[in-house]
Amino acid sequence: MLTVNNISKVFSSKKKQIKAVNDVSFKLNSGEILGIVGPNGAGKSTLLRMIASLTLPTEGTIKINNNYTSTHNRGIKDDIGYVAVETGLYGSMTSFEFLYYFGRVHGYGKKEAFNRITELASLLDFDYYLYKKISHLSTGMKQKISIARGLLHKPHLLILDEPTNGLDIIAAYYVREIIKKLKQTQTSIIISTHIITDIKMCDRLIVLNKGNLVYESNTMDVINNYNSLEDLFFDVTRYNKNVKMGM
């Protein structure tokens, strides 16, 4: 279980302070998928990076399975898989070489790393591409390799920042099927997205705006009560979309 309790993040410069995330709290159970939506600058990526222990909150606490997160706690980091848009892939390596390298970083022996990579290649359906250079792969296949990297160490929590962004229809479909498979293994999943098809996979949804959590609900309630994410956003943030459009 993930417990986020009253976390805030402040970035300071000589001229001003920016509160990127403000007093956010929520929980996520094993096997649940949580969707996070909001406009650019809402604090989504900062929130995900704090949950992933890549940066610490200025205030508040984050616990995974009752253990507090820390940038220095290797045990906690082994509980988390993080796949971001900017996740680096080494184009000069084959998919196998890339995953094997990170498998060894996570402490796997040679045979254990090989077996885990083979298992993931089968699960994510990229067996045929294991020994091809990453630079030669399609965008969708590269995203599969990124997800495999995030899953190498069998994390309890997988964080996906815009997992289908920029993918064609077929590649996005396969990434969603992967996410559904992972849910069946009781992996907890957080998805940051603005795509309604991604949202429909989620059990619950939260909306961030200007660093604040302004809405949280069961996803089916959202689908039943709103025609689009835009309608939801304008309702819960109280924006006047006609004024913003100059109407």
Ordered structural domains, the chain, with CATH: 2-79+156-244 (3.40.50.300), 86-154 (no CATH)
Going by pLDDT thresholds of 50, 70 and 90, the confidence category of residue 246 is very low
Give the per-residue pLDDT at 85: 66
Closest CA to 76 of 156, 159, 148: 156
Give the per-residue pLDDT at 245: 43
Cβ atoms of 188 and 2 within 8 Å: the answer is yes
Q: What is the CA radius of gyration of the chain?
A: 19
Question: Which backbone phi and psi does 203 adopt, to 5 degrees?
Answer: -80, -40
Whether the predicted pLDDT of 67 surpasses 90: no
Three state DSSP letters for 60-88: EEEEECCEECCCCCHHHHCCEEEECCCCC
**76 Cβ contact list (under 8 Å, min separation 6):** 53, 64, 67, 68, 69, 70
Residues 68-111 have pLDDT tens digits of 886 656 677 788 999 886 567 888 899 999 999 999 988 899 99
Comparison of pLDDT for 214 and 125, the residue scoring more: 214
**For tokens 């619950």, what's the residue?**
204
**For tokens 């296949």, what's the residue?**
141
Give the per-residue pLDDT at 243: 45
3 state DSSP class of 56? coil
3 state DSSP class of 158? strand
- Give helix then strand counts, H and E, for the chain: 10, 10
Cβ atoms of 91 and 133 within 8 Å: the answer is yes
Instruction: Report d(CA 56, CA 157) in Å as an integer.
Output: 17
Q: What is the pTM of this model?
A: 0.86
- CA 140 from centroid of its chain's CA atoms: 16
Give the per-residue pLDDT at 86: 54
Cβ atoms of 44 and 38 within 8 Å: the answer is yes
Element (H, E) at 115: helix 110-124
